[in-house]
Structure 1
Amino acid sequence: MIWNTKSYDFMPKKYLGQNFLIEMNIINKIIDYINPKWKDNIVEIGPGYAALTKPICKYVELLNVIELDKNLVFFLENSWFRKKLNIFQSNAVHFNYLDIYNNGNKNIRIFGNLPYNISVALILYLFNFLEIIEDMHFMVQKEVADRLSAIPGTKKYGRLSIIAQYYCDIFPLFSVDPISFKPMPKVKSMFVKFIPNVKFPVCPQKIEVLEMITKEVFKHKRKMLRHSLSKFLTMENFIELRINPMLRAENLTIFQYFKLVHYLTLK
C-alpha cells in the first residue's frame, strides 16, 4: 500500500539527498520496531512530508523533529498535527542534542530515514551524544549498513565498522527495495537499530585515540600491526596486551581495538 502523496507538491532536492518513504507497509513495520511510547523523549531526523511523523504522533505526547529544508518546515508548521511537534529548522549534523535532552530531562530516542549523503557523517556525529541516547533507528543505504555491521576478516570490515561497533550494538533489521521511495534511489536500503554499548566507556580522548589508530592501520592495511602501529607500540607492548603483532587491521576484533585504545589513552 502506498502512502497518499497527492495532496503534496513533491519537489525532492537532489543536493539534500531526499528520497521520501511512501510504502505504507514499510512505514508500519518501522513504527512496530521503534515501538514509541507516550512519554518517550523522541527525535525524528529529516521528517520530510511526515510519512513517519504523522502516524508516530498518535503514540507520543510530543515529537521533536529536525528538518533542514525550509519548505518542509513550512509544511510541518501548517500540518493538522502541528500541536504534537517541536520543530527545529537545523542541520542534524551540527545540532546540539543536549538541548532536547535538557528540555525533556530524559534520554532521547532518535529515528529517521536518513539522506544517503549525510548518513555516515551524522551517525559518527551522534556518537558524541551517546550518554544521553537510549537508542537509534535509521534507514540507511544497504552498503552502509553492511559496513556498519561487518565482522573481522570480511571485505566490508573497516574503520566505520570498528568505530560504530565500539560505541553501539548494531542490528540490521530488514532491507527495503527502491520502489518504497519517491524518487526511487538506485540502491537498496536497510533499516538498522543502534543501542549504545555500555561495555566501552565513552569519552572524547578515547574517541580521538580510536580514530587515530584506525586511520593509521587502515591507511597501511596490508602491513602487520607491528609495522603500522610502530610509532605507538613496541613489540613488548603487544606482548603485554596479548595481541598478535603479526595481525593486520581487518583481523582485530572490536575488543582488541578497545584494549589498544585503553592502553594508549593511559600511556
Structure 2
Amino acid sequence: MTQSNSSKHPLHGTLQKAAKHQPRKRFGQNFLHDASVISQIVDSIGLNKDDNLVEIGPGMGALTEPLLEQVDAMTVIELDRDLASSLRIRIGANSHPNFNIINTNAMHFDYSSLYQQPDAEQSTAGKKLRIVGNLPYNISTPLLFTLLDYADIIEDMHFMLQKEVVERITAEVGSKIYGRLSVIMQYFCETEYLLTVPRGAFNPPPKVTSAVFRLRPHQQKPVVAEDEKLFALVVRETFNHRRKTLRAIFKQSSLMPTLTDADFESIGISSSARPETLDVKDFVALSNVVNIKQQQQAEEDNQSE
C-alpha cells in the first residue's frame, strides 16, 4: 500500500502534536501515522452518531480524533498513564464533553460497565458496544478471548493485528492456517478480513505486516455447544495434535475420553479425519459427544462406589 503524504492531510496536525512520545516496548507500542490508512479504517467501521463507541489502546490519538468526529460520545481505554494524560489535555479539554478516558489495563476492565441498559419507560433498546483498536500484539489473542466473554453486549469489533493472526482468525476450513483461533472466533462471531496495513504506516515500524478485520458476535449462534468450556478444550486438544487422526488423538489424550468409530459415525465424522477438515458445526458435535461420554463415565463411577 502506498504511503500517503500526511503533511497535506487534515489529520497531519493531530498526528504531529504527540510525535514526541517515546514508544514503550513493554506496552507493545507501535503508533499508526499514515493518514490514508487511518481514513480507510474509519470508513470501514461505518459509525452512527449515537453509537456506543469504545477504543482500546488509543495511543497518540491517530484514530481517536477522526472517530470522535463521527459520534456524540466515546470512551477510550489506555494503559499508558502519559498517553492518557496527553489525550485528556489535547482532546478531552477541548470541545468534547462526552469523551471519557479510562486509564487501566484493557485485559482486566469490566466492559459491562459501559453497556447502556435498555430504558423500559422510553421503550429504547440497550446500546451495545462498538469496539475498535490497534491492539498491542503482545496481548492481542488473550484480549480477544477476554472480549468474547462480553459478546452478548458487543455489536461489533474492528481491530488491527498481525496479518498472519488475522488470516488465521478468518481462515476457511481445510486451509493450512485454519486452527484453534479460527474455530473459536467463528463459533462466537462472524469474521471478515478488511484491509492490509504496511509496516511503514507505523512509528516505529513493526517487524510484521498488519491487517484490519471485523468481528460481529452472533446474535444467535448457528450451532451451540452443550458445554462451551468443554468445546474450547476439545478444539485446543485436537489442534495440539493436528497431524494425527481424530481416532489417535482421542485414544491418546489424557484430558478427553476415548471415542469409538461408532461414536464418530453417530455425528457423521470419519475417525480418520484430521482437525483442519472439521468446521465449527463438526467441533460442536464432537464436543457434545465427549460431554455425553463424560457424563456416562461419571454415572458409572458413582454406581461403583
Q: TM-score, normalised by structure 2?
A: 0.81
Encode CA deviations 1:6-28: one digit per residue, 9 max, x unaligned.
33222110111111111111111
Q: TM-score, normalised by structure 1?
A: 0.92
**Equivalent-residue separation in structure 2 for 1:196 and 1:103 (angstroms):** 18
Aligned-residue offset at 1:35: 1.4
- Residue from 118, 139, 142 that aligns with 2:139: 118
**C-alpha separation between the residues in 2 aligned to 1:194 and 1:219?**
25
**Alignment partner, residue 91 of structure 1:** 105
Alignment partners' CA distance in 1, 2:224 and 2:135: 24
- The aligned counterpart of 2:75 is 64
Question: Gaps (5+ residues) in structure 2?
Answer: 7-11, 119-125, 252-256, 296-305
Q: Percent sequence identity over matched residues?
A: 39
**Residues 12-69 of structure 1, C-alpha deviations (whole Å, 9 max, x = no match):** 1011111111111111111111111111111100011111111111111110111000
Amino acid corresponding to residue 199 of structure 1 in structure 2: K
Q: Is 1:7 aligned with 2:21?
A: no
Q: Distance in 1 between matches of 2:169 and 2:35?
A: 27
Look up the match of 1:100. 114
2:41 paired residue number = 30
Change in CA separation of 1:13 and 1:257 when aligned onto 2, cut-off 3 Å: same
Secondary structure of the residue aligned to 1:185 is coil
The CA deviation string for residues 87-124 of structure 1, in whole angstroms up to 9 with x for no partner, is: 11111111111111146842111001111111111111
Partner AA of 2:57 in structure 1: G
Q: Name the SS of the counterpart of 2:164 in structure 1.
A: helix
Moved more, 223-232 or 118-127: 223-232
Aligned to 1:234: 260
Q: 1:245 corresponds to which residue?
A: 271
CA drift at 1:265: 4.4
Q: How many residues align?
A: 266
What's the offset of the Cα at 1:75?
Answer: 0.7
Which residue of 231, 237, 241 maps to 1:216? 237
Which one-letter code corresponds to 1:247 in the other structure?
A
Match of 2:221 in 1: 199
Following superposition, the deviation at residue 199 of structure 1 comes to: 2.7
Q: 2:185 aligns with which of 161, 164, 169?
A: 164
> Residues 145 and 239 from structure 1, CA distance in 2 versus in 1: closer, same or farther, beyond 3 angstroms?
same
Q: 2:223, 2:281 within 8 Å by CA — same for their partners in 1?
A: no
Aligned partner of residue 229 in structure 1, secondary structure: helix
Moved more, 179-188 or 151-160: 151-160
- d(CA) in 1 for partners of 2:230, 2:285: 11
- The structure with the larger Rg is 2
Residue segments in structure 1 that go unaligned for 5+ positions in a row: none
User: How far apart are the structure 2 equivalents of 1:34 and 1:195?
Assistant: 11
Structure 1 window deviating more from structure 2 (43-52 vs 4-13): it is 4-13
Determine if contact 1:135/1:194 at 8 Å carries over to the other structure: yes
Superposed CA RMSD: 1.9
The residue matched to 1:195 in structure 2 has which SS? strand
Structure 1 residues 253 and 172: alpha-carbon distance in aligned structure 2, compared to 1, 3 A threshold? same
